[in-house]
Structure 1
Amino acid sequence: MTGPARRPRLRRGEEGETLIEVLVAVVLMGVAFAAILGGMGTAIISSAAQQKVTGADSVIRSAAEKVVSAPYVSCAGGYPTPTPPAGYTVTVTIEYWDGVGTFGQTCPTADTGVQKVTLTVRSTGPHPVGDATLEVVKRESMLS
């Protein structure tokens, strides 16, 4: 007569993991993976936004250098601006000093020789960032 089947006795270190332990490990790894993936996504989006801001800053400084180096243009003309790279637009607005202390959009009857040139760069595309604005004051040279 044989008795009930007995399990063979396991030696120390051969116990193995239970299903619960495996599930807990898988859940912890999933949570860690999701956190790492979310952090990487945020870093990529932030990097792209910073790249656009830096690009806009470069474009506006280049445009300002062209305006500063250009000769003074009376009320009838405008200032040259560089062609912006793809993804950016440049807007130039000229305001004229009226001789009293304020700048206006319309040219006074006698050009006072002082202008405020406002340069605005806007990034375009799927994720635009805020506009970059820079003001340059131009004076007509009296050394003629």
Structure 2
Amino acid sequence: MTGPAHRPRRGRGEEGETLVEVLVAVVLIGIAFVTILGGIGTAIVSAVRQQQVTGADSLVRSAAETVVGAPYVSCARGYETPAPPAGFTLTVEVEYWDGTGAFGPACPAADSGVQKVRLTVHATGPRPVGDATLEVVKREPMPS
């Protein structure tokens, strides 16, 4: 035979997919898969970040409760606070009322009996969140 190659005829409904149709389907499935994985990754990062924010807030509040319950110490350099768990740092700064309407870092010669204690918790790690800060004003008890 010298004509075109002989192809068997297919019946109705027996036609297969072409290579282009298969490639389009694979590309669409790939795009959907990448989109879903991106969404899952974003959700995980958001959850970790929220966990850090919640942990820092809880730690700073716990430390503030400890400072409030501690006895007043004249010209204190700091107050005992719970040790922060791994992944967090806690700093305690004390400022003193100078009697003129301002707090300062240096204890005046005569302690006025009012202190401002600033507690700051910093979450460490690969993607740290902002610091959680809480200020507590301590006052020396009045003599009875």
Percent identity reads 74
**Number of the residue aligned with 1:141:** 141
Instruction: Name the Cα RMSD after superposition.
Output: 1.8
Distance of 1:88 and 1:33 partners within structure 2: 36
Q: Which runs of 4+ in 1 moved over 6 A?
A: none
- Is the contact made by 2:95 and 2:105 (CA closer than 8 Å) also made in structure 1? yes
Is structure 2 residue 71 aligned with structure 1 residue 71? yes
Give the unaligned 5+ runs of structure 1. none
**Number of the residue aligned with 1:121:** 121
Distance of 1:108 and 1:14 partners within structure 2: 95
Distance of 2:126 and 2:5 partners within structure 1: 70
**Number of the residue aligned with 2:40:** 40
Give the unaligned 5+ runs of structure 2. none
> Post-superposition shift, 1:109?
1.2
**Number of the residue aligned with 1:96:** 96
Distance of 2:65 and 2:114 partners within structure 1: 18
**Number of the residue aligned with 1:22:** 22
Distance of 1:52 and 1:59 partners within structure 2: 10
> Post-superposition shift, 1:143?
4.2
Q: For residue 21 of structure 1, what is the amino acid of its counterpart?
A: E
Number of aligned pairs?
143
User: Residues 87 and 16 of structure 1: is their aligned pair in 2 closer, same or farther, counting only changes over 3 Å?
Assistant: same
> Post-superposition shift, 1:77?
5.1
Q: TM-score, normalised by structure 1?
A: 0.92
User: Residues 83 and 10 of structure 1: is their aligned pair in 2 closer, same or farther, counting only changes over 3 Å?
Assistant: same
